[in-house]
Structure 1
């Protein structure tokens, strides 16, 4: 089996990427690539790997969904009491990674987070499906639970409690804004000589360089 895994490989040749082709602003460049991912009808193009670091210096990652692209950065929502929320409260450094296999592309974003306003979080919360709103109350995210049945019973109780009422946003739930200080765009190329263009924030200006693959 391991021999079969070692033999897995793919030659990338769809597109190319050069410093002269990218926008001087990495947020705009990301928006351009994200639109191409949408146009290509990729499955959940806003899915991203989110990495945080514990107080012991141990990294951990999970897949979340990007929910906003602003001039200042990238927005996602979660449970502030979850493992990731607790780690971000201790260490605001974060890394996001998007992989769009259908376009042979990857984007890596390094930066720091801060909570967005309660008003912004509440507005987004009430735009979610009602089941998702109730689910935010049901789940003590990242905590040990007795079994799935306990969650289902809690959901039933809350469905009855909120029947005919607006579901309030939990205090422990809301959004983060990721302010980037480094963004790398990766385009797969033949012979593993991939194109890597990196933007690094220096003295409030974005410096653009090509990296070796």
Structure 2
């Protein structure tokens, strides 16, 4: 029998985190932790849980893949007609969490959003497998469909459409979003639920980043 949910817990003891352990820039620290997650064999280390809200403030979350981290922000790609894109346009704000359970870590990013340039979209698009490119053309993301056959037929149709073309162009309705952080929190699990939480926060006046410790 599976143990009861009330009794499911892990006492985190793998590491500690202090302000002196952090890089001066949030994106350097995030890339460092991402590299450590890759080295540790974390499954889908660039997966992040993206949270958005609609015009009425009702939230939605889902997992997407991060495809860029630099001083400008955190980037992912999607259909611009999808539910998430509609909500991003409505609120112009989002948050994302990298859940690295294997290392008892997570990173939370929150800030405004912007679309990436067409040139950036094209550069990333060129790295995608052809099948993924065709899928982006075939799927009217988030739209209701009658059954699976509708999706399979749509993919068959675009496969035939581009069969004679060596390169599949990016759809006009597809591209990248960038979360431009105002806060980036690094969380390291500690014993007795006294976790280490260190947050980079952007000062709205001088645009500098400050780091502070938060109570768990």
TM-score, normalised by the number of residues in structure 2: 0.95
Deviation, 1:126, is 2.2
Matches within 5 A, 1:191-202: 191-202=192-203
3-state DSSP of counterpart to 1:123:
helix
Matches within 5 A, 1:20-31: 20-31=20-31
Higher deviation after alignment, 104-113 or 117-126 = 117-126
Aligned to 2:68: 68
Tell me if 1:108 matches 2:108: yes
3-state DSSP of counterpart to 2:4:
helix
Tell me if 1:211 matches 2:201: no
Tell me if 1:46 matches 2:46: yes
Deviation, 1:72, is 1.0
Deviation, 1:124, is 1.2
3-state DSSP of counterpart to 2:168:
coil
- Rounded to whole Å, the distance in 2 between the matches of 1:169 and 1:70 is 23
Q: Deviations over 1:161-211 (max 9, x none)?
A: 111202121111001111100011000001111001011100311111111
- Rounded to whole Å, the distance in 2 between the matches of 1:164 and 1:211 is 57
3-state DSSP of counterpart to 2:159:
helix
Aligned to 1:185: 186
Indicate the RMSD between aligned Cα atoms, in angstroms: 1.3
Q: Deviations over 1:32-90 (max 9, x none)?
A: 11111111111010000000110011111100000011221111100010000011111
3-state DSSP of counterpart to 1:169:
coil
Deviation, 1:30, is 0.8
- Rounded to whole Å, the distance in 1 between the matches of 2:35 and 2:126 is 26
Structure 2 residue runs of 5 or longer lacking an equivalent are: none
Q: Deviations over 1:129-175 (max 9, x none)?
A: 11111100111101101111011111111111111202121111001
Higher deviation after alignment, 164-173 or 46-55 = 164-173
Deviation, 1:24, is 2.0
Matches within 5 A, 1:8-157: 8-157=8-157
- Rounded to whole Å, the distance in 2 between the matches of 1:150 and 1:60 is 25
Deviation, 1:93, is 0.5
**Which segments of structure 1 move beyond 4 Å, counting only runs of 4 or more?**
none
